[in-house]
């Protein structure tokens, strides 16, 4: 099925399962649909099965969005408690379209829970409470983690009751975009493309001798020196990376991660974030970015070499900025400073209410990720960027940060595991499949590449080109259902289809107003033009060091100056709203004259939060403030402890009888005198 056909089906409001091989354009199609909905003001929630996948969609995890957390089952009491949470209730009742990306990594039990919660809170027996559900993913990717002894039949989401309840229309994308170049330039001797080999692996006819020979021929192939090496086991990856790092001479810099919050959730973050608590780097190290950063022009999987270290310039006030040259008047900041100096504002030490004693403190008490010297990375394209600390968070349904993890978003990348390569696109790779132990590992590894020209295979075993038979059977059925859906919709006249699209928009509270849609499109294009201008500046710089100061507070500041809301800025930057509020707090502290009254909450909310602050400061309970563990009234550095900027969010939330959500409290605190 073509992407355009899938979009036509999505716009009718049917529940849709969007699938296809790696590189078929699933994420692109989702983003096109999200754009369509937002332009028409249809409330859409973008979620994913994992935190890493959620960052690709500028969304949140389905666990956080739905309130199910990490549970495997919900009792009637649990459901009753969830329905009393106003923020969660408003969110679930106010959403018309729910998108779950990387559905293949969501356990069947958890999809059942999402269905259960939506039906309960929306008070509807319709599948998923009557919301349009769009699930996307490829079940040939590695399956979700389950309990010991649990089979894939128990884990796959398509085996759940909720999946049957949804009654999905299946859209199986068949156009290949990642391996296109290989199709245009087939190897003369092999006469077979990587895309063709992947389709054989996915099919039920088996892999031909010609395909196996094509793979074996890559044993002797020289690939780019900047290749990534993929292995099935961590032990091989760690050994290669440690050996390569040890061979480098020169200064060693170690970055220590900062972790706050619920111990189990922090561990969940650590497993999702592909770096280490102690990241040791040297000049010459081959590294990989593990988080998207549109301002830097890097994405999850972008490769490069560490060529130096640099210090971070201080934030400039608007008065100083105005005196600078317009093209170089930029503001420098970092996630490190947020963790180091604004700990109270972010309140990253909060714990899960169900496990309040199971808390982990920062890796080093109030310690920075390292010094203020950050890595300069020369990308494989030749451009240079600075890698600043990034923060990963898990929030509950009220916006409370339950766990946070801050670290330089890099990992050593002479070698990585196949499991950690999921979601990446690689130009060149050296892959060892000789110790394949799980069905699907070979497919995942090979599908990271764009063509056979970038592949050097070190070995294979009997499992390397095999897939889970249950997943293969389901995939065959998905193709049949997709063909049926395509045939059905091809018989519908264009006018009738358009009426169906418009009817869905109106029934979900959206608008068909041309002026409203045009205004959204105009604003969207303006953002694209800004991004294109920044990309052109990067390209012009070539291998010079990109001024990363544009990428943090300044980017947020420029968007806020356009009178955008917190949500709009978060969407534009691909960051959490809590992060944007953290930026706003830093901007206001360093430039009190910054005008942002359009963001001010209702006076009633500000007054209530202000009153709570006064009461909590007067009570002077060290447990209510970040940075203190006794009643001395000062922190370890001798600074006053009982101040507004050090108050944790939880005591304010509880003082206000849990009637004002955490994000509203964060925002109100910025305006409390």
Spatial CA neighbour of 559 closest among 579, 582, 580: 580
pLDDT tens-digit profile of 460-506? Answer: 999 999 999 999 999 999 999 999 999 999 999 999 999 999 999 99
Higher pLDDT, 520 or 622: 520
Beta-bridged to residue 634, according to DSSP, are: 640
Weakest-pLDDT range from 61-75, 403-417, 433-447, 631-645: 631-645
User: What integer pLDDT is reported at residue 325 of this predicted model?
Assistant: 33
Three-state SS at 432: strand
Residue 75 shares a structural domain with residue 132: yes
Weakest-pLDDT range from 449-458, 505-514, 660-669: 660-669
Residue 85 shares a structural domain with residue 154: yes
| Average pLDDT along the chain | 80
pLDDT tens-digit profile of 414-471? Answer: 999 998 787 777 888 999 999 999 889 999 999 888 889 999 999 999 999 999 999 9
Domain that holds residue 261: 233-416
Residue 255 included in any domain: yes
Residue 559 included in any domain: no
Q: How far, in whole angstroms, is CA 22 from its chain's centroid?
A: 18
User: What integer pLDDT is reported at residue 113 of this predicted model?
Assistant: 96
pLDDT bin (cut points 50, 70, 90) of residue 352 is very low
Q: How far apart are CA 671 and CA 144, in angstroms?
A: 44
| Domain count within the chain | 4
Residue 477 shares a structural domain with residue 434: no
pLDDT tens-digit profile of 268-310? Answer: 778 777 778 899 999 999 998 888 776 677 777 788 999 999 8
Residue 39 shares a structural domain with residue 139: yes
Residue 565 included in any domain: no
- Domain CATH number, residue 50: 3.40.50.300
pLDDT tens-digit profile of 588-602? Answer: 878 888 888 888 888
Q: What are phi and psi of 190, to 5 degrees?
A: -85, -35
Question: What distances in angstroms separate CA 265 from CA 270, 356, 405, 574, one per listed residue?
Answer: 9, 12, 10, 22
384 within 8 A of 377, measured Cβ to Cβ: yes
Say whether pLDDT at 542 is over 70: no
Residue 386 shares a structural domain with residue 312: yes
Residue 212 included in any domain: yes
Residue 197 shares a structural domain with residue 245: no
Residue 555 included in any domain: no
Residue 390 shares a structural domain with residue 433: no
pLDDT bin (cut points 50, 70, 90) of residue 184 is very low
User: What integer pLDDT is reported at residue 399 of this predicted model?
Assistant: 62
Q: Which of 416, 431, 451 is the last residue of a domain?
A: 416
According to DSSP, residue 72 is labeled S
Residue 405 shares a structural domain with residue 497: no
Q: How far, in whole angstroms, is CA 306 from its chain's centroid?
A: 24
User: What integer pLDDT is reported at residue 638 of this predicted model?
Assistant: 55
Q: How far apart are CA 136 and CA 610, in angstroms?
A: 44
Token pair belonging to 672: 């409390």
Q: How far apart are CA 432 and CA 442, in angstroms?
A: 9
Residue 27 shares a structural domain with residue 170: yes
Residue 425 included in any domain: yes
Residue 314 shares a structural domain with residue 213: no
Task: Return the sign of the alpha-carbon dihedral for residues 605, 608, 614, 618.
Answer: negative
Cβ count near 249 (within 10 Å): 9
89 within 8 A of 131, measured Cβ to Cβ: no
Weakest-pLDDT range from 75-79, 253-257, 555-559: 555-559
Higher pLDDT, 587 or 533: 587
Residue 502 included in any domain: yes
Residue 655 included in any domain: yes
Say whether pLDDT at 507 is over 90: yes
Q: How far apart are CA 77 and CA 81, in angstroms?
A: 6
What is the DSSP code string of 483-528? HHHHHHHHTS-HHHHHHHHHHHHHHTT----HHHHHHHHHHHHHHH
Residue 426 shares a structural domain with residue 442: yes
414 within 8 A of 225, measured Cβ to Cβ: no
Residue 157 shares a structural domain with residue 26: yes
Q: How far apart are CA 584 and CA 557, in angstroms?
A: 8
């Amino acid at each position: 099925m073509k992407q355009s056909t899938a979009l036509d089906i999505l716009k009718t409001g049917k529940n849709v399962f969007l699938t296809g091989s790696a590189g078929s354009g699933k994420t692109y199609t989702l983003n096109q649909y999200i754009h369509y909905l937002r332009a028409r003001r249809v409330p859409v929630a973008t979620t994913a099965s994992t935190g890493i996948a959620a960052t690709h969609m500028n969304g949140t995890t389905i666990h956080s969005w739905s309130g199910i957390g990490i549970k495997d089952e919900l009792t009637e009491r649990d459901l009753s408690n969830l329905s009393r949470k106003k923020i969660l209730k408003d969110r679930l009742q106010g959403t018309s379209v729910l998108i779950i990306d990387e559905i293949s990594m969501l356990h069947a039990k958890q999809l059942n829970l999402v269905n259960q919660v939506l039906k309960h809170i929306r008070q509807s027996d319709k599948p998923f409470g009557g919301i349009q559900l769009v699930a996307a993913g490829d079940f040939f990717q590695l399956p979700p983690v389950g309990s010991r002894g649990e089979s894939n039949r128990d884990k796959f989401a398509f085996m759940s009751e909720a999946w049957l309840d949804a009654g999905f229309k299946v859209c199986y994308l068949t156009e290949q975009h990642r391996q296109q170049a290989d199709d245009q330039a087939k190897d003369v001797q092999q006469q077979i493309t990587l895309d063709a080999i992947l389709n054989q692996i996915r099919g039920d006819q088996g892999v031909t001798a010609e395909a196996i020979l094509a793979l074996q021929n890559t044993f002797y192939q020289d690939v780019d020196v900047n290749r990534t090496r993929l292995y099935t086991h961590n032990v091989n990856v760690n050994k290669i990376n440690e050996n390569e790092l040890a061979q480098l001479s020169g200064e060693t810099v170690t970055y220590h991660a900062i972790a706050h919050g619920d111990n189990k959730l922090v561990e969940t973050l650590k497993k999702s974030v592909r770096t280490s608590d102690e990241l040791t780097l040297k000049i010459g190290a081959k590294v990989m970015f593990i988080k998207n950063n549109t301002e830097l022009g890097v994405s999850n999987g972008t490769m490069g070499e560490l060529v130096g270290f640099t210090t971070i310039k201080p934030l400039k006030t608007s008065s100083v900025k105005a005196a600078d040259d317009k093209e170089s008047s930029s503001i420098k900041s970092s996630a490190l400073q947020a963790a180091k100096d604004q700990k109270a504002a972010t309140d990253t030490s909060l714990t899960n209410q169900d496990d309040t004693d199971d808390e982990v403190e920062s890796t080093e008490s109030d310690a920075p990720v390292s010094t203020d010297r950050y890595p300069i990375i020369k990308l494989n394209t030749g451009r240079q960027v600075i890698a600043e600390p990034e923060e990963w968070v898990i929030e509950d349904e009220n916006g409370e940060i339950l766990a946070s993890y801050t670290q330089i978003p890099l990992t050593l990348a002479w070698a990585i595991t196949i499991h950690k390569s999921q979601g990446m696109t690689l130009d060149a790779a050296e892959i060892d499949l000789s110790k394949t132990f799980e069905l699907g590992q070979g497919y995942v590894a090979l599908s990271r590449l764009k063509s056979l020209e970038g592949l050097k295979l070190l070995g294979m075993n009997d499992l390397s080109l095999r897939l889970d038979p249950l997943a293969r059977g389901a995939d065959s059925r998905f193709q049949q259902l997709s063909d049926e859906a395509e045939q059905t919709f091809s018989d519908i006249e264009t006018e009738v289809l358009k009426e169906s699209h418009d009817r869905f928009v109106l029934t979900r509270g959206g608008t068909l107003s041309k002026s409203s849609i045009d205004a959204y499109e105009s604003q969207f294009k303006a953002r694209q033009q800004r991004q294109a201008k920044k990309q052109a500046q990067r390209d012009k710089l070539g291998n010079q060091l990109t001024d990363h100061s544009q990428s943090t507070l300044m980017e947020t500041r420029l968007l806020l100056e356009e009178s955008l809301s917190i949500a709009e800025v978060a969407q534009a930057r691909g960051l959490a709203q809590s992060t944007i509020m953290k930026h706003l707090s830093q901007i206001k502290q360093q430039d009190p004259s910054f005008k942002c009254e359009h963001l001010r909450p209702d006076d009633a909310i500000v007054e209530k939060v202000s009153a709570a602050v006064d009461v909590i400061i007067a009570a002077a309970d060290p447990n209510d403030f970040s940075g203190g563990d006794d009643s001395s009234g000062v922190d370890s550095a001798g600074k006053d402890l009982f101040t507004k900027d050090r108050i944790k969010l939880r005591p304010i939330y509880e003082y206000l009888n849990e009637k004002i959500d955490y994000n509203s409290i964060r925002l109100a605190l910025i305006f409390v005198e």
